[in-house]
Amino acid sequence: MLRKSKLKDIFEKTAKEIKNADSVSVLDNIRFQCLGRKKGLITSVLRNLKNLSIKEKREIGPLIQKIQKELKKLFDEKEKELSKKTEKNISDITLPAQKIQAGHFHPLAKVEKEIKEIFSSMSFSVVEGPEIETEYNNFDALNIPPNHPARDMWDTFWLKPTNSKEQIINNKNRKLLLRTHTSPVQVRYMQTHKPPFQIIAPGRAFRYEATDAFHETNFYQVEGLMVGEKISLANLKFIIEEFLKKFFDDPKMEFRFVPSYFPFVEPGIQVDIRMEKLSVGHKLSVGHKKSDWLEIMGAGMVHPNVFKAVGYDSLKWQGFAFGMGLDRLAMLKYKISDIRLFHSGDLRFINQI
């Protein structure tokens, strides 16, 4: 027969378990063990009351009722406490989700991709050339012979010859340099392909000059070349116009052709765009008023001497070429006021785009 002390033990043990319960399911389990209808400890004591003597009944009866009441109270209190806790832990599903950090394109890579897509849609192939070039491809083949004053247009990073003997033996302008423009890709492509064709060649170029908000020693260009039997300036104008409208997403993009000089084209032109046409709020900090024209590329009809240098019949073939500053286009499109920001490595800048 259960004695009073045993009942007290049960009570204390259960009260302790209730106190330590750390979840509603643990608490339910304790309740089941103790007050469960079939196998609960307290329940079975109650069920056995009828077998006790009257004296025992009088003693145990009230005690067990009291214990039962106390435990119920403890269970209820603990349950409240635990459910409050879980309420706190449930996340607020109306809060915005945490942003997943993913990598993304550098602004220059993004602009290069866009330019490639636009020209590909006009059936231009995308080709590449090396950043280290021969003096011949960078200058001579482009109608800029040694000592030609036009070489001054490109301040050049010359590379030290590694094997001077070899260079003297093959001395057909084998001196190496960092290409000052992407135009040598024209030479490489024409040396290995037959017209008609239309290509663009995006890539890095290097110039040994002081840097400012518009000039970097390392910058990017996109070269263009279209050669065929009946290519004229009109074709160039159409292609440039289509490109500008798509790139700036503005069908009324204003641009102009201005006579210019590059030894490898005749006539030579430069293409300017109207700053006013760019979206409102555009600010280029250095020297450009809102209504200014800004030069974005050099272009022209391929000079017969260039065709001769690559072995083309200059009476049969005609072509246009252009070279645009990719950094400048990126600056205009994304309203960037300083070219040096592109290589600053500043993530605050890169993450904006």
Spot the catalytic one: 68, 186, 198, 221.
221
195 neighbors 228 (Cβ within 8 angstroms)? yes
Where in 175-194 is the site for ligand PHE (CB under 6 A)?
181, 183
Task: Report in angstroms the alpha-carbon separations of 95 from 91, 92, 99, 230.
Answer: 8, 6, 12, 63
Q: Does 300 bind ligand PHE (CB under 6 A)?
A: yes
Spot the catalytic one: 31, 179, 188, 207.
207
In angstroms and rounded to an integer, the radius of gyration of the C-alpha atoms of the chain is 42
Active site residue 207: yes
Shortest CB 171 distance to ligand PHE, Å: 25
Helix axes 107-121, 326-334, angle to 10 degrees: 100
Active site residue 154: yes
Enumerate residues 6+ apart whose C-beta is below 8 A from 341. 349
From the list 48-56, 125-133, 320-328, 345-353, the region that binds ligand PHE by CB under 6 A is 320-328
Closer to ligand PHE by Cβ: residue 58 or 148 = 148
Closer to ligand PHE by Cβ: residue 321 or 336 = 321
Where in 19-78 is the site for ligand PHE (CB under 6 A)?
none
Among candidate residues 261, 197, 222, 236, the one with its CA nearest the CA of residue 320: 236
Active site residue 181: yes
Among candidate residues 242, 222, 244, the one with its CA nearest the CA of residue 234: 242
Closer to ligand PHE by Cβ: residue 62 or 130 = 130
Q: Does 323 bind ligand PHE (CB under 6 A)?
A: yes
Q: Does 202 bind ligand PHE (CB under 6 A)?
A: no
From the list 7-15, 65-73, 294-302, 343-351, the region that binds ligand PHE by CB under 6 A is 294-302
Shortest CB 300 distance to ligand PHE, Å: 5
Residue from 10, 201, 321, 326 that binds ligand PHE (CB under 6 A)?
321
Closer to ligand PHE by Cβ: residue 78 or 268 = 268
Active site residue 293: no
Shortest CB 225 distance to ligand PHE, Å: 8
Active site residue 21: no
Q: Is 146 exposed, middle or buried (0-12, 13-18, 19+ CB in 10 A)?
A: exposed
Closer to ligand PHE by Cβ: residue 203 or 300 = 300
Shortest CB 103 distance to ligand PHE, Å: 32
Residue from 262, 307, 312, 317 that binds ligand PHE (CB under 6 A)?
262
Q: Does 299 bind ligand PHE (CB under 6 A)?
A: yes
141 neighbors 189 (Cβ within 8 angstroms)? no
Q: Does 141 bind ligand PHE (CB under 6 A)?
A: no
C-alpha 275/C-alpha 47 separation (Å) is 95
Q: Which two tokens stand for residue 151?
A: 């070489």
Give the interface size with ligand PHE as a residue count (CB under 6 A): 10
Shortest CB 199 distance to ligand PHE, Å: 12
Q: What letters, b where the CB count within 10 A reaches 16 and e where it falls short, cover 250-262?
A: eeebebebeeeeb
Active site residue 340: no
- Return the number of other C-beta atoms located less than 10 Å from residue 176's C-beta: 17
Signed CA dihedral, 20, 21, 27, 29: sign only: negative
C-alpha 162/C-alpha 97 separation (Å) is 57
* Helix or strand run (H / E) with residue 343: none
Q: Which two tokens stand for residue 67?
A: 């214990």
Where does this chain bind ligand PHE (CB under 6 A)?
A: 181, 183, 262, 265, 298-300, 321-323
Catalytic residue ranges: 154, 181, 207, 221, 265, 321
